Structure 1
Amino acid sequence: MEELFEPLTAGKLELRNRLVMAPMTRSRAADAGQVTGLTAEYYAQRAAAGLIITEGVQPSERGQGYIWTPGLHSDDQVAAWRRVTGAVHDEGGVIFAQIMHTGRIGHPYLYADGGLPVAPSAIASGERLFTPEGMLEHPVPREMTPEDIETVVAEFADAARNAIAAGFDGVELHGANGYLIHQFLADGSNTRTDAYGGPVRNRIRFAVEVARAVGDAIGADRVGFRMSPGNTLNGITESDTAELYPALAAGLAPLGLAYVHVMETGDRAMTRRIRAAWPGTLILNPHPTPESFPARPEYGADALREGVADAVAFAQLWLANPDLPDRIKAGGPYNEADPATFYGGDHRGYTDYPLLGE
């Protein structure tokens, strides 16, 4: 699987290999959205990745969707992230912050004013928020006005500037998994009748505007965009996936982004259509068939050989194997991830996975 270890240029980045650490929510931030020294240790342990993409980071208070997730909208949050980026850079790593506005996946429980979350349309997700006091149903969100849209686009750009101030090498925009950008893309969550709803060309508008604003703020060659065609997480439904994602890729193409990051949902044919519409670097979270979960190294090597990807992203493999490149070269074995420690908690299931030979 030597393909995985070839260097790669993406935007201005020179990546040491084609193994990307996918973003994974871990819910270990302080109550004010500040990461800790434990977070710095966690990412530094995994700095052998060609690129680390952090857990989703909210660009504003209203962008938060889960407890104990980090932000990039206050001076204290920016200062806390500098410890993380410094630790990764000291190990020779490259790290992007994933900016994630959760839209209707938010809840009044998370906001100081107790207000509603915002979304393209007033349609509830049907999901629930975990809190220490119990599960809370997501409310019907408030439909965003044109002024709200302008504000949120600016929040993405401000968070990207904060990411650079915090020492990140760039940012990834989370347009997948049922969060705000995805909510605009999907016709099941976007029933607007203005310029942001209706036909595909309108539903991709918000995504393209956010990407353009962030590129203008920090340089497009330091910006990635994640998408997940056909993904039904967080109550998402799409009736026109086959048309939607090639159009999105084509709409992003003129912006000169560093990469697009495709989370496959068992449809390699869709990945090929996106690849045809996207002229730049493509990072793939490889799930070529519905049965191929979780992703394995051989899926990534196959995707590189097939030419549908330039780099491959893994999630649980990185979570449980901080020395993943060494383990792939050795042919394993691989630590198994412990789902009981995925979200919240201390160092257990976070920074205590053993290295090869330990």
Structure 2
Amino acid sequence: MTQRPSLFSPCQIGRFHLSHRERAGPSSVYRYCPRSVGILTSFPFLFVVCLGRRVVLAPVTRCRAIDGIPLPAHVEYYTQRATDGGFLISEGTVISPTGAGFPRCPGIYTREQIDAWKKVVDAVHAKGSIIFCQLWHVGRASNQIYQPGGTAVPISSTDKPVSGRWKILMPDGKYGSFARPRRLAISEIPVIVQHYRQAALNAIEAGFDGVEIHGAHGYLIDQFLKDGINDRTDAYGGSLQNRCRFLMEVTRAVTSAVGPERVAVRLSPAIDHLDAYDSDPRRLGLTVIEQLNALQRESGERLAYLHVTQPRYVAYGQTESGLQGSAEEESQMMRALREAYNGSFMCSGGFTQELAVAAVEQGDADLVSFGRLFISNPDLVERFKLGARLNRYVRATFYTADPVVGYTDYPFLGQQQRARL
């Protein structure tokens, strides 16, 4: 009788070149592991690499960089959360000077940024973990203060601004208004696609094992996908095929540059963050998946994984009372997406250990990413294994500039146990 997978069982998600094997040394990352049991047991990553478990650090914005450059604190933060056989996804990393919409976000478009990220990646690899870089452009979810010269207008699929329902975090820690964006001309879109391609190449140069294209949560790619935002009448608007065009052009450009096995895509078809509504999110998700499957067939290679945020995702500025959709609606839609996608499937969005165990054991996900729980529990994997109590996160420190408080000072389980003696 075949055992059901769990959070600790093997999981394979593509094909992978072990470029850092010699630096990292022996690790469960490099063993081939067929699918078996446990959410905290291993998962064969990219056809030949075995992740030590199905628990993933989600890409969570932390606002600690200076001038877009990761700091020594970033090295500590990521290595705290790295484990032998683990898998981390970086915070959203800006692909170009026009892509920022948060204070102190890192980028991957200058030599200084690449070199700084290399220090992070090397330290993570030394602990035996794999790390992907999330490629991010916020589009209209910005303000002139974050744009080149502090005066440029943010770009988008539309010229409609984010509504007053939402506020943008400003450099002084207060909340302000989003700027009215400028609609991209068709002639400008290939330039943005090239920015994604170059950012992917830069990430690989920095040593990242792959990249995740951020196509979710109301940011630039999502602004093309969702009909609640995209009001274009050209080849990038109107029909579902047209609204998917920008995402697919970006994905093709990135996969051609670094290889499909090093590329993942993140989607959130049912999330209305930053007014990113769609009239038929299920159909949108299935249409994107159909096109990603076709891309995989054309190349003969699978993407690394598809990462989908569930409707219970809670955005910054929201509370748990604002969760979207019923549990049954959520599970039906996610199961349909899971069944449609030909490849490894990662879920995120307010998961507890119990919910993650259920998702993996029921076959609804191959991997589960955790954001807030990983923020406050750098040793989350160990706590899950032991059934230990979790640290509570402090939301007020999520986006502050302090390189220690709320960033690298959450206690490890061993520290707490010694303190009780």
TM-score class normalised by the smaller sequence: over 0.9
For structure 2, the 5+ residue unaligned runs are: 17-45, 296-301, 313-329, 416-421
1:291 is aligned to: none
- The 5-angstrom pairing of residues 166-205 of structure 1 reads 166-205=206-245
Residue 84 of structure 1: CA displacement?
0.3
Quick check: 1:99 aligned with 2:135?
yes
Give 1:74's aligned amino acid: T
- Residues in 2 aligned to 1:228 and 1:347: alpha-carbon distance in whole angstroms: 31
Quick check: 1:159 aligned with 2:209?
no
Which digits, 9 at most, give the CA deviation of each residue in 1:319-339, with x for residues without a partner? 111111111111121111111
More deviation in 258-267 or 11-20? 11-20
2:56 is aligned to: 20
2:419 is aligned to: none
- Residues in 2 aligned to 1:357 and 1:45: alpha-carbon distance in whole angstroms: 13
Aligned residues: 350
2:181 is aligned to: 141
- Residues in 1 aligned to 2:147 and 2:215: alpha-carbon distance in whole angstroms: 23
Q: Name the TM-score, length of structure 2 as normaliser.
A: 0.81
- Report the 3-state secondary structure (helix = DSSP H, G, I; strand = E; otherwise coil) of the residue aligned with 2:264: strand
Choose from 128, 137, 155 the match for 1:118.
155
- Report the 3-state secondary structure (helix = DSSP H, G, I; strand = E; otherwise coil) of the residue aligned with 1:181: helix
Quick check: 1:239 aligned with 2:279?
yes
2:323 is aligned to: none
- Structure 1 or 2, whichever has the larger Rg, is 2
- Report the 3-state secondary structure (helix = DSSP H, G, I; strand = E; otherwise coil) of the residue aligned with 1:63: coil
Residue 132 of structure 1: CA displacement?
4.0
- Residues in 2 aligned to 1:352 and 1:227: alpha-carbon distance in whole angstroms: 31
More deviation in 110-119 or 129-138? 129-138
- Report the 3-state secondary structure (helix = DSSP H, G, I; strand = E; otherwise coil) of the residue aligned with 2:266: strand
- Residues in 1 aligned to 2:286 and 2:176: alpha-carbon distance in whole angstroms: 36
1:5 is aligned to: 8
Contact 1:249 1:278 in 2 (8 A): yes
- Report the 3-state secondary structure (helix = DSSP H, G, I; strand = E; otherwise coil) of the residue aligned with 1:262: strand
% identity of equivalent residues: 40
Contact 1:62 1:106 in 2 (8 A): no
Which digits, 9 at most, give the CA deviation of each residue in 1:60-99, with x for residues without a partner? 0001111100000100100110110011001111100000
Choose from 81, 87, 90 the match for 2:117.
81
- Report the 3-state secondary structure (helix = DSSP H, G, I; strand = E; otherwise coil) of the residue aligned with 2:292: helix
- Report the 3-state secondary structure (helix = DSSP H, G, I; strand = E; otherwise coil) of the residue aligned with 1:105: coil
For structure 1, the 5+ residue unaligned runs are: 288-293
2:399 is aligned to: 343
Choose from 372, 382, 390 the match for 1:334.
390
More deviation in 148-157 or 337-346? 337-346
Residue 2 of structure 1: CA displacement?
7.5
- Residues in 2 aligned to 1:143 and 1:60: alpha-carbon distance in whole angstroms: 17
1:229 is aligned to: 269
- Residues in 2 aligned to 1:22 and 1:299: alpha-carbon distance in whole angstroms: 16
Give 2:100's aligned amino acid: Q
Contact 2:144 2:154 in 1 (8 A): yes
- Residues in 1 aligned to 2:392 and 2:366: alpha-carbon distance in whole angstroms: 26
Quick check: 1:274 aligned with 2:311?
no
1:353 is aligned to: 410
Contact 1:338 1:349 in 2 (8 A): yes
- Report the 3-state secondary structure (helix = DSSP H, G, I; strand = E; otherwise coil) of the residue aligned with 2:102: coil
Give 2:234's aligned amino acid: D
1:298 is aligned to: 354
Residue 272 of structure 1: CA displacement?
1.2
Residue 111 of structure 1: CA displacement?
2.2
More deviation in 7-16 or 305-314? 7-16
Residue 112 of structure 1: CA displacement?
2.9
1:128 is aligned to: 167
Residue 207 of structure 1: CA displacement?
0.9
More deviation in 89-98 or 109-118? 109-118
1:220 is aligned to: 260
Contact 1:281 1:310 in 2 (8 A): yes
Which digits, 9 at most, give the CA deviation of each residue in 1:114-172, with x for residues without a partner? 11010001110123332245433212111011122111111000000000011100000
Give 2:311's aligned amino acid: T
- Report the 3-state secondary structure (helix = DSSP H, G, I; strand = E; otherwise coil) of the residue aligned with 1:42: helix
- Residues in 1 aligned to 2:304 and 2:148: alpha-carbon distance in whole angstroms: 36
Quick check: 1:311 aligned with 2:367?
yes
- Residues in 1 aligned to 2:408 and 2:10: alpha-carbon distance in whole angstroms: 27
- Structure 1 pair 221/300, CA: closer, same or farther in 2 (3 Å)? same
- Residues in 2 aligned to 1:4 and 1:117: alpha-carbon distance in whole angstroms: 41
- Residues in 2 aligned to 1:135 and 1:45: alpha-carbon distance in whole angstroms: 30
Residue 239 of structure 1: CA displacement?
0.8
Residue 196 of structure 1: CA displacement?
0.9
- Residues in 2 aligned to 1:60 and 1:9: alpha-carbon distance in whole angstroms: 32
- Residues in 1 aligned to 2:171 and 2:307: alpha-carbon distance in whole angstroms: 33
More deviation in 6-15 or 202-211? 6-15
1:262 is aligned to: 308
- Residues in 2 aligned to 1:112 and 1:197: alpha-carbon distance in whole angstroms: 27
- Residues in 1 aligned to 2:209 and 2:367: alpha-carbon distance in whole angstroms: 17
